[in-house]
Structure 1
Amino acid sequence: MEIRRATTTAGLLAAEHLYDGPAREEWAARFLAAPGHLMLIALVDGFPAGFVSGIEMLHPDKGAEMCLYELSVDEGHRRRGIGCALTRALAAEARTRGCRGMWVGVDTDNGAALATYAAAGARPDGVFAMLTWEFA
């Protein structure tokens, strides 16, 4: 397995099977152009077997923190440590960027994600509620 940072639109589109829905070229280009956005892709024999995306966030009283935005591993490649390796690689990138920490929001009934993040060194930080707004 090799973990690489996605640097081209073609690289992002090649991982489309790992996303929740179809990728759009214009959104991929915006993602790459946005400061602080990054995606790491795990390649197994050249096949995009998983990805993790992160967003470096800044705040006047917190400095820089990395938000683990999304993690996905191809169904046929699960339970091989790819998700944990991707999470650790994102944490290493966050440290390189000077982030003071990294966080992720996870559904409390998502046992696989919770186990993956714990294996990569995360710990619970109290009760978390996520509220969303959806815009057309």
Structure 2
Amino acid sequence: MEIRRATTVADVVAAERLYDGPARRAAAERFLASPDHHLLVAYAGPEPVGFVSGVEVTHPDKGTEMFLYELAVDEGHQRRGIGRALVSALAELARTRGLYGMWVLTDRANPAALATYRSAGATAEEDCVLLAWTFS
């Protein structure tokens, strides 16, 4: 298994079967154009088998941290450490960029995600409430 950063729209599209839906070219171009957006893809041979995306978030009194936006591993490749490797690679990228931390939200009822994040060094800080706005 090899992890590489997606740097082209073709890289993004090649992994689209792992996303919630098809890649949108304009969104992929905008994502890749931002130096604060990161997409790391795990490959088994030439085939993408997992990805993690992260976005750097900066606040004036805190500095910059990495928000782990999404993680997915192909069902046939799960439970092999690929998710942990992707999370660890994103954390290492954050460290090398001088960020002070990394965070993620997941469902309490998602034991696979919780196990993956914990195995990569994360700890549950406290109970959180997610409030969301949906814009049409």
CA positional deviation for 1:35: 3.2
> Partner residue of 1:118?
118
C-alpha distance in 2, partners of 1:125/1:46? 38
- Aligned-partner SS, 1:79: coil
TM-score norm. by structure 1 comes to 0.98
> Partner residue of 1:70?
70
Match for 2:130: what amino acid?
M
> Partner residue of 2:85?
85
> Partner residue of 1:34?
34
Match for 2:112: what amino acid?
A
> Partner residue of 2:59?
59
C-alpha distance in 2, partners of 1:5/1:129? 32
* Residue-by-residue CA offset, 1:36-91 (whole Å, 9 max, x unaligned): 00100000011100000000111111101000000000111100000000000000
C-alpha distance in 2, partners of 1:129/1:106? 11
Match for 1:132: what amino acid?
A
Match for 1:7: what amino acid?
T
* Identity over aligned pairs, percent: 62
* Residue-by-residue CA offset, 1:81-130 (whole Å, 9 max, x unaligned): 00000000000000011010000001110000000000000000101111
Unmatched 5+ residue regions in structure 2?
Answer: none
Q: Which portions of structure 1, spanning 4 or more consecutive aligned residues, are displaced by more than 3 angstroms? A: none
> Partner residue of 2:131?
131
> Partner residue of 1:96?
96
Match for 1:94: what amino acid?
A
How many residues align? The count is 136
> Partner residue of 1:22?
22
